[in-house]
Amino acid sequence: MTETTRLQYLRIALIVVGLIFLFGIYLLMIVWPSGWTWHTGHSDYPMMIVGIYATLGLFLILAARDPLQHLSLIWFTVWSSVVHAAIMTVQALSLRNHGHFLGDVPALFIVALVLGILTPRRRREDKRR
């Protein structure tokens, strides 16, 4: 795959992931709570998560304009998704909350995998050195 094609796919992935983070997390918590919500009853936790992911989603959409200028944000998204999914895996196992193995846990690993594969390791100008 050429660098130009890879960057086009990365731009598309950033927009798709950004839109999902911006709007989809909240919707999934409502329509599929067993796979996306960790608390029952009243809790402030879901809105905090929605706020963080919606903000990240907006910035991923903005980063799609020029991904090479936003590599640190993209790599933050990759590695924070891996860490978040790993923690949720341990928690889902210990709490026997297995619905998350079909919901948010694989979703975050998929986000990390897709963005990690498409994102260059360094900026174009760094490759000349």
C-alpha to C-alpha distances, 14 to 9, 20, 30, 41, nearest whole angstrom: 9, 10, 24, 33
Tell whether 86 is covered by a domain.
yes
Q: Which residue has the higher pLDDT, 41 or 28?
A: 28
Tell whether 129 is covered by a domain.
no
Tell whether 62 is covered by a domain.
yes
**Is 40 a residue whose pLDDT tops 80?**
no
**Is 28 a residue whose pLDDT tops 80?**
yes
What pLDDT shows up at residue 129?
45
Tell whether 20 is covered by a domain.
yes
Q: What would the mean pLDDT of 60-67 be, rounded to a whole number?
A: 98
pLDDT band at 56 (very low <50, low <70, confident <90, very high): very high
**Is 61 a residue whose pLDDT tops 60?**
yes
Instruction: Read off the pTM.
Output: 0.87
Q: 18 lies in which domain range?
A: 3-124
Which residues are CB-contacts of 79 (< 8 A; sequence separation ≥ 6)?
A: 112
φ/ψ (deg, to 5) at 64: -65, -20
Is residue 106 exposed (0-12), middle (13-18) or buried (19+ Cβ within 10 Å)?
Answer: middle
What is the CA angle 30-90-101, rounded to 5? 45
Tell whether 38 is covered by a domain.
yes
Tell whether 71 is covered by a domain.
yes
Is residue 33 exposed (0-12), middle (13-18) or buried (19+ Cβ within 10 Å)?
Answer: middle
Tell whether 28 is covered by a domain.
yes
Q: Which residue has the higher pLDDT, 3 or 114?
A: 114
pLDDT band at 21 (very low <50, low <70, confident <90, very high): very high
**Is 109 a residue whose pLDDT tops 90?**
yes
Q: How many domains does the chain have?
A: 1
